[in-house]
Structure 1
Amino acid sequence: MAGDAKPKEDPLREIKASLDRQMRCQPYERFDKFYEGEEFADALFTELVPWGKDQTFTGLTHGTPKGAHTPHGWGVLEHHEGFMQACSVWLDGVADGPGMWASTMNGVEQCGYGTWVQGKRHGYFALVKEGGTYIEEYETGELKRRIKWRKDKLHTKCSRCGMLFVPLANTAEEKFCRYHISKPDYDGRYPCCGALHAVNPRGCATSMHVEPLPDPPKDAVDGLADATAALGLGAG
């Protein structure tokens, strides 16, 4: 009978569960024993070293023909226009493991989670944008398909740097919010660090993301307006 039919099983159920877990955790653990292996024996921590045009890297690096501070281990790559890629494993300058990316370029907030293989997206990624979450399938960097997954209820927008983030993963172990302490002055230079707004690497300070303040209840706003009017403090 039709009423006895079993619900169709989602073929991506385990993939979705894995990506959901990835969203709720930070992309790497600095002191994981994995980084104590022979592969990373010569890697040292460096902060905001140039890597690519208008980009900086913070994490484990070592010297190679590519540069004195080639990403090698955990770390985060940041572009001054508002892009970051955090990966648990970089090998000789390319991402090669699970991680995440986030962007505010051109005023559009997006982020994603998945795995890179030899610098290219491979397998399944979760893409978050415009209030929705999508599953993307890649093969050696080539997008094969994108399907709608669910409404995004995990992320919020940082009120300081504008990046999307998951509050559960916003812990003191890793601080991905990069911002300037002061606003740029009349000639486009930040007084807090002296950097020019046009060429600045996203900020001179790093901290945890800041959640936006909740809007006050409507009745409280109406009550304040009524009190203001009664005191004769309104516009006029």
Structure 2
Amino acid sequence: MKNLFIRDIKAGIKAGGAIGTSLLFFISVIILSPFALGTDKTLLAQAGPGLLWFFALLAVLLGLDRLFQTDKEDGSLDIILAAGDFSSLTVMVLVKSAAHWVSTVLPLIAAAPVLSLLLNPAWRQAAALTASLVLGTPAITFIGALGAALTAALPRGGVLLAVLVLPLIIPVIIFGTAASVALAAGTALQPLYFLLALTLFFGLVGPAAAALALKFTAE
């Protein structure tokens, strides 16, 4: 599993990998947002957390449809499925999801504080938004892994994947935005606790559900 983790990270950071596409998309939409919303600092400050979370969601979903494609193409996925070892399959999903988060999502989070200044000039809000992304984006990755497993048999299931997982991701976006606002204002932190609970829940349930989906689609 260690080799699988390293291989997926290398695949994500190589030229033309998921990190390049996701990061370029994330930077582009944030740079263009002030042109669409105008230069009103109050409006940008109010819309900033929600926009950043929405853009992060779209960037995370990019490339997730191919999360299991490499393993399907080289036959390693079929070997694990044929062995009938559900635990190994679940661990594989967990490792691949973690590798996707490290190679694709973590660079977006690292860029978020600087890019968010285009929408909100306060460093406190930028730091709060970054903290909420660190806590909440793993949940999106685990939910996306379930969608990737359901669409693994399709050549390109990106659109279908988004349709399948968006209803599950909506609570993450709501509490992620609320948590960033609450952290910046120093008010009640209940949204942050709910966000962390969602990440822990999907971290436990997501890999197992994705493993079941892979077994179902393979039959």
Bigger CA radius of gyration: 1
Q: Which structure shows the bigger proportion of residues in strand conformation?
A: 1
* TM-score range normalised by the length of the shorter chain: under 0.3
TM-score (norm 1): 0.24
Q: Which structure shows the bigger proportion of residues in helix conformation?
A: 2
For CA contacts below 8 A with separation 6 or more, give which structure has more relative contact order: 2
